[in-house]
Amino acid sequence: MHKKSAKLKHVCYDIRGPVIVEAARLEAAGEHILKLNIGNPAPFGFTAPPALLDAIGANLHQSQGYCDARGLGQARELVARHYRTKGVTQASADQVFIGNGVSELIQMSLQALVDNGDEILLPAPDYPLWTACTVLAGGNAVHYRCDEGSGWQPDLDDIRAKITPRTKGLVVINPNNPTGAVYEKGLLLELIQIAREHKLVLFADEIYDQILFDGAVHYPMAALSEDVLTLTFNGLSKAYLAAGFRQGWMMVSGDLNLAHDYLEGLSMLANMRLCANVPSQHALLAALSDPESIKPLLLPQGRLCQQRDLAYDMLTSIKGVSCVKPKGALYLFPRLDPKRFAISDDQGLVLDLLRKEKMLLVQGTGFHYPTPDHLRIVFLPPTEVLTDAMGRFGRYLDRLAE
């Protein structure tokens, strides 16, 4: 019998977990499922800026070999320049790693840092890959509270209370998946101060930095300190609508004198996976030449903003459902009032909703939210699909409360 390794025993990534298997079974049986579960823009009719596609086509012939393990020099230089214009004065191509999506770089950044029993502070709710990769690396994922009552802001006292001598890193996801919160500069400075005081590596997952609504402003954490060791993550999957190209970057900044050994570990892991997909690195070059290409979709009349507004309005008009309106990213994270809906198993609820209403969401506990009373809804589908889905969801919840 071939068993999976023991180190996978506590690794969990529910976004693509058991519920997906049931959805696939229903689809194979001929059912049409409304999928509001994954932040993948292309299936909903979004297309990457044409310049990205053209850049891949034009450079295909030159892209047949491996490149430098950290990425094409030109791509790394452009990433560094991009951050210099955003105020990261010391951003350097030497400290940029290009990866097959941010996912690969998250995995590498934790594998290179975490020893068995080390602790990483992660938000709850989180983007669960961070927790999964921490656990896979042998670490303990320690979740800090984000407070729904104050717009899902990280609870600084909770973070401080959870720091131990084993704490090595602090993960900040801004704009946040799944809550859609965008953090103010003052809060980011306080998070940086915590990392400074406790010598933590700061992991700044900023993959939604361009997806902002209602005039929200994003501050790159790396631009707010020159000393704290900061790894900034971003890529093409969201703001450039090209998740299938699997392109991401990670930039290391801050006091590098503290990080020689860690950087050596990162380089070793980069070498071990040889290099990131080379054709897509040309798309990255085109993307960073026009980093705000998604903006028209975010204006009040833009498609993404309209979809967010419609989904939010319909959702919050369902009795017993409340939601902090997202100021960034692609998701709503509503709360189902426990007084109206006595839910003890939110995965069970998502499965039941799938079977009865043929629509797919993700349960809040899949994001390490501690109580089974939240769900994540992706607002990428067009308004007619969202209208249908929110109608079905409302009917389902009304029946559930009876």
Q: In terms of CB distance, is 39 or 372 closer to ligand PLP?
A: 39
Give the binding range for ligand PLP (CB under 6 A) out of 100-108, 153-161, 282-290, 383-391.
100-108
**Residue 127 found at the interface with ligand PLP (CB under 6 A):** yes
Give the binding range for ligand PLP (CB under 6 A) out of 18-26, 58-66, 97-105, 194-202.
97-105
Q: How far is the CB of 246 from ligand PLP (least distance, A)?
A: 7
Q: What is d(CA 202, CA 108) in angstroms, rounded to the nearest whole number?
A: 15
Residues contacting residue 287 through CB under 8 Å, at least 6 positions apart:
49, 51, 52, 236, 240, 242, 247, 293
Q: Which of 88, 188, 207, 311 binds ligand PLP (CB under 6 A)?
A: 207
Report whether 86 contacts 291 (CB < 8 A). no
3-state secondary structure of 58: helix
Q: Which of 37, 95, 103, 167 binds ligand PLP (CB under 6 A)?
A: 103
Residues contacting residue 278 through CB under 8 Å, at least 6 positions apart:
63, 64, 65, 66, 67, 72
**Residue 243 found at the interface with ligand PLP (CB under 6 A):** yes
Q: Which of 230, 237, 277, 293 binds ligand PLP (CB under 6 A)?
A: 237
Q: Each residue of 51-83: b (16+ CB within 10 Å) or e?
A: ebeebbeebeeebeeebebbbbeebbbbbbebb
3-state secondary structure of 287: helix
**Residue 183 found at the interface with ligand PLP (CB under 6 A):** no
Q: How far is the CB of 167 from ligand PLP (least distance, A)?
A: 21
Report whether 302 contacts 350 (CB < 8 A). no
Residues contacting residue 394 through CB under 8 Å, at least 6 positions apart:
314, 317, 318
Q: How far is the CB of 316 from ligand PLP (least distance, A)?
A: 23
Cα-based distances in Å from 183 to 149, 188, 219: 14, 7, 8
**Residue 102 found at the interface with ligand PLP (CB under 6 A):** yes
Q: How far is the CB of 109 from ligand PLP (least distance, A)?
A: 12
Burial class (CB in 10 A: 0-12, 13-18, 19+), 378: buried
Q: What is d(CA 337, CA 322) in angstroms, rounded to the nearest whole number?
A: 8
List binders of ligand PLP among 245-264 (CB under 6 A).
Answer: 248
In the numeric block, which tokens belong to residue 28?
């194979």
Q: What is d(CA 216, CA 185) in angstroms, rounded to the nearest whole number?
A: 11
Q: In terms of CB distance, is 128 or 397 closer to ligand PLP?
A: 128
Give the binding range for ligand PLP (CB under 6 A) out of 83-91, 96-104, 179-187, 277-285.
96-104
Q: How far is the CB of 260 from ligand PLP (least distance, A)?
A: 27
List binders of ligand PLP among 4-43 (CB under 6 A).
Answer: 39
**Residue 131 found at the interface with ligand PLP (CB under 6 A):** no
Q: How far is the CB of 142 from ligand PLP (least distance, A)?
A: 18
**Residue 205 found at the interface with ligand PLP (CB under 6 A):** yes
Q: Which of 37, 167, 177, 293 binds ligand PLP (CB under 6 A)?
A: 177
Residue nearest to ligand PLP (CB): 101
Report whether 98 contacts 71 (CB < 8 A). yes
Q: How far is the CB of 231 from ligand PLP (least distance, A)?
A: 12
**Residue 381 found at the interface with ligand PLP (CB under 6 A):** no
**Residue 71 found at the interface with ligand PLP (CB under 6 A):** no
**Residue 231 found at the interface with ligand PLP (CB under 6 A):** no
Give residue for tokens 């029993």: 117
- Chain residues binding ligand PLP by CB under 6 A are 39, 101-103, 127, 173, 177, 205, 207, 235, 237, 243, 248
